[in-house]
């Protein structure tokens, strides 16, 4: 094969990490021919959906506590690459943080983030090739040959695999490239949806669909507290949702079948304060039925649900007739509402993949140990972060490192 027909760097996947990798590699090696091979008819479909269309692209509070997975040096990789503000500043995107430290583009628009990435890529001369679904990477002594599902072959000197994981397959990521990498000697850790709603027994949620309430979510296994977070809890007909629930989903892979979520729906009061509050209500609403006991504290359907479940009897009884022990039962129930977790929501409702190609399969430069010349970045690796910009930060940082390492491996070798 003539040298001219061989692309220097082929990036599989036109998502967050793929763009970061391609831009970094081409910036280091301006003469290199860099191509992004994207399966869908457009690049960056998932980027457009991030942060409800606003793209929460990083967080000012970056620390190891927010990341999970077998890649050992996650924080080292993040600190060795430009911060999101620096990276996006260099491509003309101004960013700012909200009160919770979540970083967004000033435009509040994911579309402008994708546009800025594409403009930078175009300026550099990176080629976008859409509609190419990589399904095999063949190695010859001199180069790699990436085959598409339709039989097309793409020869290249280096490969950066940035094809994402299994989460949200509607945006092009169905885990097929993870399976492809198994044929290259890679192994995976346990894979399951993360940053996702958690399924519980639907009969326990009857009457709560669509309800939102502030509270504390605590994840327990065998009576041991694993993690807790305060925020908005959302109820669907089959699952608990909301950011604080999403952030417990990574525990499912480790504690499958042994995970309980405990909700404290009055996290702003201690037990004594809540008891006292209910006694005042009893006095104020003496002639109302128990149905009105929690009116004004919770949305109507949640107020009725909690009182009914706690008392275990019809709510036609007058509030004045409730015994002290019954009031106590209600207030304790509000602070300790337990749900056994049946599993995560399906992939289409998950934002991230927990698990992936094991950290043992790549070196500190994110190059495959089993096959030199292939680099991995983004969600395909066994790294997942909490909700709040941590996953995109990993995509940018690992993409930049993979692009840099790949360019370094070619340096001096370009004709």
Ligand X SMILES: Cc1cc2nc3c(=O)[nH]c(=O)nc-3n(C[C@H](O)[C@H](O)[C@H](O)COP(=O)(O)OP(=O)(O)OC[C@H]3O[C@@H](n4cnc5c(N)ncnc54)[C@H](O)[C@@H]3O)c2cc1C
**Where on the chain is the footprint of ligand X (CB under 6 A)?**
12-18, 37-40, 45-46, 49-51, 55-56, 132-134, 162-164, 167-168, 172-173, 176-177, 351-352, 378-379, 389-392, 395
Least CB distance from residue 87 to ligand X, whole Å? 14
Pairing of strands 192-194, 352-354: antiparallel
Q: Using CB positions, name the residue nearest to ligand X.
A: 15
Least CB distance from residue 129 to ligand X, whole Å? 9
Least CB distance from residue 108 to ligand X, whole Å? 12
Least CB distance from residue 123 to ligand X, whole Å? 21
How far is Cα 62 from Cα 79, in angstroms, rounded to an integer? 9
Nearest residue (CB) to ligand X, 27 versus 329? 27
Least CB distance from residue 331 to ligand X, whole Å? 37
E strands, 106-186, in order: 127-130, 134-139, 144-148, 153-161
**Six token digits for residue 113:** 């983030």
How far is Cα 215 from Cα 211, in angstroms, rounded to an integer? 13
Least CB distance from residue 19 to ligand X, whole Å? 8
How far is Cα 311 from Cα 329, in angstroms, rounded to an integer? 7
Nearest residue (CB) to ligand X, 19 versus 298? 19
Nearest residue (CB) to ligand X, 165 versus 215? 165
Nearest residue (CB) to ligand X, 113 versus 208? 113
How far is Cα 288 from Cα 80, in angstroms, rounded to an integer? 63
E strands, 257-360, in order: 260-264, 337-340, 343-344, 352-354
Nearest residue (CB) to ligand X, 150 versus 316? 150
User: Strand, helix or coil at 132?
Assistant: coil
Nearest residue (CB) to ligand X, 13 versus 231? 13
CA-closest candidate to residue 309, choices 404, 383, 208 = 208
């Amino acid at each position: 094969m003539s040298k001219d027909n061989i692309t220097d760097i082929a990036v599989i996947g036109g998502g967050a990490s793929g763009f970061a990798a391609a831009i970094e590699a081409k910036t280091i090696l301006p003469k290199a021919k860099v191509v992004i091979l994207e399966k869908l008819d457009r690049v960056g479909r998932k980027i457009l959906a991030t942060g409800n269309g606003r793209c929460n692209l990083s967080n000012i509070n970056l620390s190891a506590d927010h990341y999970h997975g077998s890649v050992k040096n996650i924080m080292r990789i993040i600190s060795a690459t430009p911060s999101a503000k620096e990276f996006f500043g260099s491509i003309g995107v101004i960013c700012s943080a909200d009160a919770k430290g979540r970083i967004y583009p000033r435009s509040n628009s994911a579309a402008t983030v994708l546009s800025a990435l594409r403009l930078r890529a175009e300026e550099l001369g990176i080629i976008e090739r859409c509609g190419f679904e990589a399904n095999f990477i063949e190695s010859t002594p001199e180069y790699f040959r990436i085959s598409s599902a339709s039989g097309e072959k793409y020869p290249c000197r280096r490969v950066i695999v940035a094809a994402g994981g299994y989460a949200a397959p509607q945006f092009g990521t169905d885990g097929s490239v993870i399976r492809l990498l198994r044929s290259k000697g890679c192994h995976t850790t346990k894979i399951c949806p993360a940053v996702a709603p958690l399924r519980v027994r639907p009969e326990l949620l009857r009457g709560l669909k669509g309800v939102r309430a502030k509270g504390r979510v605590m994840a327990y296994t065998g009576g041991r507290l694993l993690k807790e977070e305060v925020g908005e809890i959302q109820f669907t007909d089959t699952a608990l949702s909301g950011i604080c629930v999403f952030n417990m989903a990574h525990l499912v892979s480790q504690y499958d079948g042994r995970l309980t979520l405990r909700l404290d729906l009055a996290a702003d009061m201690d037990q004594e304060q809540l008891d006292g509050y209910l006694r005042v209500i009893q006095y104020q609403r003496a002639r109302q039925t128990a149905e009105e006991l929690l009116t004004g504290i919770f949305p109507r359907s949640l107020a009725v649900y909690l009182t009914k479940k706690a008392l275990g009897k019809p709510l036609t009884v007058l509030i004045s007739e409730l015994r002290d022990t019954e009031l106590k039962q209600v207030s304790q129930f509000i602070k300790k509402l337990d749900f056994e977790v049946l599993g995560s929501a399906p992939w289409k409702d998950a934002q991230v993949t927990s698990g992936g190609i094991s950290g043992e399969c790549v070196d500190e430069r994110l190059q495959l140990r089993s096959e030199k010349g292939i680099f991995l970045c983004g969600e395909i690796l066994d790294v997942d972060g909490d909700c709040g910009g941590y996953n995109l930060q990993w995509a940018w940082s690992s993409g930049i490192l993979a692009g840099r390492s790949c360019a370094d491996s070619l340096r001096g070798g370009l004709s």
